[in-house]
Amino acid sequence: MREVYFILSPQFMLLDLAGPAEVLQIASEHGAELNLHMAAAVPELTSSVGLRQHQLAPLPAPIPDGALIMLIGVQNSKHNLQRPEAQAIVDWLRREFDPARHQLACICSGTMIAAQAGLLDGKRCTTHHELIERLRHTAPTALIEENRLFVEAGNIATSAGITAGIDLALHLVAREFGPSMTQAIAREMVVWLRRSGQDPQLSAWLAHRNHIHPQVHKAQDLISQQVKRRWKLAELAAAVHTTPRTLSRLFIQHAALTPHDYQRAIRLALAQQLLANPSLNLDQVAAEAGFASTRDFRRVWQQATGQLPSDCRGISR
């Protein structure tokens, strides 16, 4: 069981807390072994919208091995992060947090707390675009990346403003518990699946999602949800209310590949999972993954992997 602590400061941003907390709570309902806590330096705090959070747990000391600490951003961070309740968190992190034993995730201006504690020195990181210059001043040796949803550097992850915390939480779930659970959570929350785009271990189900274009995301969802359907470009474009030419341009611009190539990648990802099932023969795998024929499946698979499908039976990567 992994302990997860949402660390709150005065005037904490409610969506900074609620978005990631909901992701992880739903993950636990899907079988992820997570134990969620709300903690602060004081037992009661008021959020950015006036909602009071009562019976907050104290800051854990010591922090359990393997725990995930999530630093939640605040409204008017220039003022509120200087208040004693926030500075107590900085001191606590300096005393208790060990990157070799613990994991840290910073949401929006929560990154500033980690910076004050010296945890971002020499590390890649990001934050809300309005806080970039302050972050440079607070952590002059940090390697700050702008215009990113989130950045992960070892056991420390940082995210941009507000809703990007949901993207970061989905990424953490995907890394720990796999893309299938992540897709189920995203569907339940009705949010787009987006990733950093810098992770070489991205599965095809989650790759090419590091953008914010709604029509491209909708088209990717349709392809992923109906893998066996042989989408024609005109049909896919009509489903997302645009023209075939525009959809092709948007895919290349935002997802860095064509709709046809994305559909092929999804089919190959599904085929890879199906190949691990010894009860399915190659004809069944090809049909379930949406290929026109077993011959077509062999050709596409060999082009992508340099191997025959039969060479990969029982391997699920």
Binning pLDDT at 50, 70 and 90, where does residue 315 land?
very low
Tens of pLDDT, residue by residue over 31-68, are: 999 999 999 999 999 999 999 999 999 999 999 999 99
How far is Cα 223 from Cα 246, in angstroms, rounded to an integer?
17
Q: Look over the chain and give the mean of its residue pLDDT values, rounded to a whole number.
A: 90
Q: Is residue 268 within 8 Å of 204, Cβ to Cβ?
A: yes
Residue 316 has pLDDT above 50, yes or no: no
Question: Which residues, at least 6 apart from 108, have a Cβ–Cβ distance to it below 8 Å?
Answer: 13, 16, 72, 73, 127, 128, 131, 159, 160, 161, 162, 164, 165
Binning pLDDT at 50, 70 and 90, where does residue 192 land?
low
Average pLDDT for 85-114: 97
Tens of pLDDT, residue by residue over 169-179, are: 998 998 898 87
Task: Note the pLDDT of residue 201.
Answer: 33
**Structural domains in the chain?**
2-176 (3.40.50.880), 211-317 (1.10.10.60)
Task: Note the pLDDT of residue 277.
Answer: 81
Task: Note the pLDDT of residue 301.
Answer: 93
Four-CA torsion 214, 216, 217, 219, nearest 10 degrees: 120
Tens of pLDDT, residue by residue over 260-300, are: 999 999 999 888 878 878 888 999 999 999 999 999 999 99
Binning pLDDT at 50, 70 and 90, where does residue 102 land?
very high
Q: What b/e readout covers 156-173, taking b as 16+ CB neighbours within 10 angstroms?
A: bbbbbbbbbbbbbbbbbb
Question: Which residues, at least 6 apart from 135, have a Cβ–Cβ distance to it below 8 Å?
Answer: 111, 112, 115, 120, 125, 127, 142, 144
Task: Note the pLDDT of residue 149.
Answer: 82
Task: Note the pLDDT of residue 61.
Answer: 96
- Name the residue with higher pLDDT: 115 or 256: 115
Task: Note the pLDDT of residue 196.
Answer: 43
- Name the residue with higher pLDDT: 22 or 148: 22
- Name the residue with higher pLDDT: 226 or 94: 94
- Range in 85-99, 111-125, 185-199, 208-222 with the lowest mean pLDDT: 185-199
Tens of pLDDT, residue by residue over 122-162, are: 999 999 989 999 999 999 999 999 878 889 999 999 998 77
Residue 190 has pLDDT above 90, yes or no: no
Average pLDDT for 115-121: 98
Task: Note the pLDDT of residue 193.
Answer: 58
Q: Is residue 208 within 8 Å of 256, Cβ to Cβ?
A: yes
pTM: 0.68
Tell me how far CA of residue 105 lies from CA of 73, 232, 281, in angstroms. Answer: 11, 41, 43
How far is Cα 255 from Cα 217, in angstroms, rounded to an integer?
9
